[in-house]
Structure 1
Amino acid sequence: MSDAAETEKKARMSAYQRWEMASFDPVPVDRTAADQAALEKHLRRVRDEAHAQGLAQGHVAGQAMGYQAGYDQGYAKGEEEGRRDARAEAARLTSMADAFKTALQAADAVVAEALTSLALDIAQQVVSQHLTLDPTAVLAVARSVIAAEPALSGAPYLIVNPADLPIVEAYLLEELQAAGWTFRTDPDIERGGCKAHAASGEIDATNATRWERVAAALGRSQPW
């Protein structure tokens, strides 16, 4: 091989070898001001995105915590309001029950009063008819006066209506005489009633007086 060919071959090999070795070496970077600005902008964008993502996650977490806190607070408030409403409703129902009870008692009182008045009116009519239809009604009254305790003493005497005198003489004469009683008449005494007088006192068994006692026992003041 000639010297010229050998030299050319070495030159080609050296160039190849230089290219091959250099191809795996780091390429020297010549950063310009524009490249540096672009890099900084990229870094800022990455940082801003990370910050925004962190804020978003924090916001979601805060919302969740706030929702739970609001839920707990609202539940507690609703429960308390429910208890308050229940107490108010119970008080209202109790008041209604008391008012209803009072109304029933008042109604019972009115009904009782009306029934008492009706009963007295009916009783008065029945007694009046009985005294009119039964001429011997005075006998039971007179016997109760004679047997009264304490017994009258000091010349006791029985006063009856003149129309009842024949009845008294026919049925009570022996009893009166045996007890030391006499009898008299008074037209102001209604038939069926009587009075008794003695030195020790007086017994009023007229119809009006006995009726007033019955009405008073029922809490009424109703004349005969």
Structure 2
Amino acid sequence: MSDHPRHWRPWRLHDLGSAQPTPADKLAPARTKRNAEAEISRALFEQAKERACAQGFEQGREEGFKQGQREGFEAAQRAGLEGLDQRLDTLVAPLAELARRFEAALREENDTIARATTELALEVGRVLAGDALRLAPEYIVDDVQALLEEPFESNAPPTLLLHPEDLALVETRLDAELRAAGWQLRANPALERGDCQLESMYQVIDASRSDRWERLRLAVGHKAH
């Protein structure tokens, strides 16, 4: 406010209402601008919403595709493994049967080989024993000594039959033992060197080499030929 007299003028009532209202045509552009801005905002919001929905849909679709792909791969893998197992079973079954048959044949062959080996060992032993008796006929003394130690029940004195040459050898070596047992000696030319038989009224003990070898064969499960 100024104190100069020119700056003062009387107040009148109409001065307060002298301001003129803004015409409607001047307000329209402002409303139009605000409406346009609102429309733009709504359009941008809708675009953002659609974009977000599209992104969410795409992400969900991609994740669903990957999940489905994984599940499909796993299912296909399981089906493939099951099919492979079935094919392997089909292929291996004949091989397993062949292996079982081969194993059975091998066991049978092993049994045959074992029998043949034992048979050969017995035959070799028999030949060697015969050679030993020819080289050392005094082995008959050990056989008769073993018979004297075995229990032999008889009411009458038993008779020991020997090859004539063995008889002379046994009489020389075991005369005292034979007399104490009450045994009688008799030569039998039908017997081979190394063979002997002990006879009584009720029983006969065949101690010939062939009989002893036959008993040995039966003991190891071999039949007589």
Which interval holds the TM-score relative to the shorter structure?
A: 0.5 to 0.7
Question: Cα deviation per residue 1:68-119 (whole Å; 9 max; x = unaligned)?
Answer: 7987875554333222123334534432432232132122112212211221
CA contact (8 A) 1:141 1:193 kept: no
Task: Summarize deviations over 1:131-153 as a string: whole Å, max 9, x none.
Answer: 11112121121122222234444
- Structure 2 CA distance, aligned partners of 1:221 and 1:149? 28
Return the TM-score normalized by structure 1: 0.61
The separation in 2 between residues aligned to 1:215 and 1:177, in whole angstroms, is: 34
Distance 1:162 1:217 in 2: 31
Query: Following TM superposition, by how much is the alpha carbon of 1:214 offset from its aligned partner in structure 2, in angstroms?
Result: 1.1
CA contact (8 A) 1:196 1:204 kept: yes
> Are 1:85 and 2:87 an aligned pair?
yes
The one-letter code matched in structure 2 to 1:102 is A
Counterpart CA distance in 1 for 2:155 and 2:86 is 77
Determine whether 1:163 maps to 2:176.
no
Q: Which runs of 5+ in 2 are unaligned?
A: 1-64
Q: Percent same amino acid among aligned pairs?
A: 30
Which residue does 1:123 correspond to in 2? 125
Q: RMSD in angstroms over aligned alpha carbons? A: 2.8
Task: For 2:174 and 2:160, locate their aligned partners in 1 and report how far apart those are by CA, in whole Å.
Answer: 11
Task: With the length of structure 2 as denominator, give the TM-score of the two structures.
Answer: 0.61
C-alpha distance in 2, partners of 1:213/1:131? 19
Other structure's SS at 1:183 match: strand
Distance 2:141 2:154 in 1: 18
Q: Aligned partners of 2:130, 2:224: CA distance in 1, in Å? A: 15
Paired position in structure 1 for 2:189 = 187
Cα offset, 1:129, TM superposition: 0.1
Distance in structure 1 (CA, Å) of the matches to 2:190 and 2:204: 17
Residue 103 of structure 1: aligned partner: 105
Matches for 1:27-46 after TM superposition, within 5 Å: none
Equivalence for 1:136:
138
Runs of 4+ in 1 over 6 A off after TM superposition: 67-73
Give the counterpart letter for 2:190 in structure 1.
D
**What do residues 23-45 of structure 1 show as CA deviations (whole Å, max 9, x unaligned)?**
xxxxxxxxxxxxxxxxxxxxxxx
8 Å Cα contact 1:155-1:181 kept in structure 2: yes
Aligned residues, how many?
160
Per mean C-alpha deviation after superposition, the further-off stretch among 100-109 and 187-196 is 100-109
Q: Is the 8 A contact 1:131 1:191 kept in 2?
A: yes
3-state SS, counterpart of residue 190 of structure 1: coil
In 2, Cα distance between equivalents of 1:118 and 1:99:
28
